[in-house]
Amino acid sequence: MHDYPTNSLILRSHVVLQLPTLFTTFKTYMDLQDIAQKLTSLLSLQEVDHLLDNITQTRGTLPEEISSLERKELQAQRHVQESEAKKEAIEEEIADSRSEIKNIERLVKRYEEEQMHVRNNREYDTITKEIDLQKLEVQLKEKFIKEAYGRIEQQKAQTEQSKEAVTECQKFLKHKKAELKQLVDKSQEEERKLSEQREGIATSIDAHLLSRYEHIRKSVRNRLAVVTIKREACGGCFSRIPPQRQISIHEKKEISTCEYCGRIIAGVVDDE
Ligand SMILES: [Zn+2]
């Protein structure tokens, strides 16, 4: 809020630069008209924005709930894909192990044939040892396959669980979206008119001031970017505004902002 130049500085340079010529007087008069007009436009804009906010408020947290559910649905869908991909990878591991077992079995058969033609006991024993070793390898691979099937079951369960989550999200989304549509439909015409009105007012305000207004509106809690001085205090943050400054604000020579909260001050409202 402190990035705006303080009003008193601008006011001083304004006074120094003023030349008492007819042209400058006319220009100053036009500027004053312009500033007053800008402030009036900002106040109208704020009024329309307030009505638009009221419409948005009737929707409560529905829009957020919907986007949160959409995120959850997407995440659950990703989980389905992930567990399906994991299952496929395990199936490949099983297929690899099976083909390795087949290779080993062929090898064992060859050893067994060789064993029939050995010349001595030593050769016979060596081959027997090799066959036992290969058979042990087959056993290990079979054990691995059995465990892999267990992992496939786990992934299947995971997929089912995620699919259920997707369905659940979709069910809630359908309800919430219908609920929101009903609310949107109800206020559609009013919202359209207000948006049109807003556009009309916004075009009469220069882009810099408009973005300043929008920036302030977003950053203050009560969403009031333009306020007036009431009972000597800022209508936004209730800080006391010194009389001298109230006078300069009242003159509307510049777009003034509150030194404390940064809100634009549109004028001074007399005490009743
Ligand atoms: Zn203030």
Per the structure, the count of domains in the chain is: 2
> Which residue among 182, 204, 226 closes a domain?
204
Instruction: Check residue 21 and give its pLDDT.
Output: 47
Instruction: Check residue 252 and give its pLDDT.
Output: 86
Distance 228 CA to ligand 1 centre (A): 9
pLDDT range class, residue 24, cuts 50, 70, 90: very low
Q: What is the pLDDT of residues 124-156, one digit of tens each?
A: 999 999 999 999 999 999 999 999 999 999 999
> Is 104 contained in some domain?
yes
> Is 6 contained in some domain?
no
Do 183 and 108 sit in the same domain of this protein?
yes
Buried b vs exposed e over 112-145: b needs ≥16 C-beta within 10 Å?
eeebeeeeeeeeeeebeeebeebeeebeebeeeb
User: What number is the average pLDDT over the span 25-35?
Assistant: 64
CB atoms under 10 Å from CB of 246, counted, come to 18
Instruction: Answer yes or no: are the C-beta atoms of 225 and 41 closer than 8 Å.
Output: no
20 vs 87, which has greater pLDDT? 87
The secondary structure of residue 263, as a DSSP letter, is -
> Is 245 contained in some domain?
yes
> Is 66 contained in some domain?
yes
Instruction: Check residue 219 and give its pLDDT.
Output: 94
The yes-or-no verdict on residue 28 having pLDDT over 90 is no
> Which residue among 150, 183, 204 closes a domain?
204
Do 53 and 79 sit in the same domain of this protein?
no
> Which residue among 204, 221, 242 closes a domain?
204
Distance 209 CA to ligand 1 centre (A): 18
Distance 33 CA to ligand 1 centre (A): 24
Instruction: Check residue 9 and give its pLDDT.
Output: 41
pLDDT range class, residue 31, cuts 50, 70, 90: low
The yes-or-no verdict on residue 16 having pLDDT over 50 is no
Instruction: Check residue 29 and give its pLDDT.
Output: 58
> Is 2 contained in some domain?
no
pLDDT mean across residues, the chain: 90
pLDDT range class, residue 4, cuts 50, 70, 90: very low
Do 172 and 182 sit in the same domain of this protein?
yes
The secondary structure of residue 260, as a DSSP letter, is T
Do 67 and 199 sit in the same domain of this protein?
yes
Angle (CA) 84-87-92 rounded to 5° is 130
pLDDT range class, residue 27, cuts 50, 70, 90: low
Do 101 and 192 sit in the same domain of this protein?
yes
Between CA 49 and CA 197 the distance in angstroms is 10
The secondary structure of residue 153, as a DSSP letter, is H
Do 117 and 136 sit in the same domain of this protein?
yes
CATH of the domain at 163: 1.10.287.1490
* Order of strands across the sheet that contains 233-234: 233-234, 226-230, 264-269, 256-257
Do 69 and 198 sit in the same domain of this protein?
yes
Do 69 and 193 sit in the same domain of this protein?
yes
Q: What is the pLDDT of residues 40-75, one digit of tens each?
A: 999 999 999 999 999 999 999 999 999 999 999 999
Instruction: Answer yes or no: are the C-beta atoms of 256 and 212 closer than 8 Å.
Output: no
Q: Give residue 181's domain range.
A: 60-204
CB atoms under 10 Å from CB of 21, counted, come to 9
Cα 38 from chain centroid?
A: 34
Do 259 and 137 sit in the same domain of this protein?
no
Above pLDDT 70, what percent of the chain?
Answer: 87
Residues in the chain: 272
Do 146 and 173 sit in the same domain of this protein?
yes
Instruction: Answer yes or no: are the C-beta atoms of 4 and 257 closer than 8 Å.
Output: yes
| Residue 172 tokens, joined | 């809630």
Instruction: Check residue 270 and give its pLDDT.
Output: 77
Distance 44 CA to ligand 1 centre (A): 20
> Is 25 contained in some domain?
no
Distance 218 CA to ligand 1 centre (A): 15
DSSP codes, 66-108: HHHHHHHHHHHHHHHHHHHHHHHHHHHHHHHHHHHHHHHHHHH
> Is 121 contained in some domain?
yes
Distance 7 CA to ligand 1 centre (A): 13
Distance 260 CA to ligand 1 centre (A): 5
Instruction: Check residue 89 and give its pLDDT.
Output: 98
User: What number is the average pLDDT over the span 72-80?
Assistant: 98
Distance 249 CA to ligand 1 centre (A): 13
Do 162 and 246 sit in the same domain of this protein?
no
Q: What is the pLDDT of residues 189-206, one digit of tens each?
A: 999 999 999 999 999 899
Instruction: Check residue 34 and give its pLDDT.
Output: 87
Do 192 and 220 sit in the same domain of this protein?
no
Distance 224 CA to ligand 1 centre (A): 10
> Is 171 contained in some domain?
yes
| Residue 22 tokens, joined | 């007819």
Distance 265 CA to ligand 1 centre (A): 8
Q: What is the pLDDT of residues 158-175, one digit of tens each?
A: 999 999 999 999 999 999
Between CA 127 and CA 111 the distance in angstroms is 6
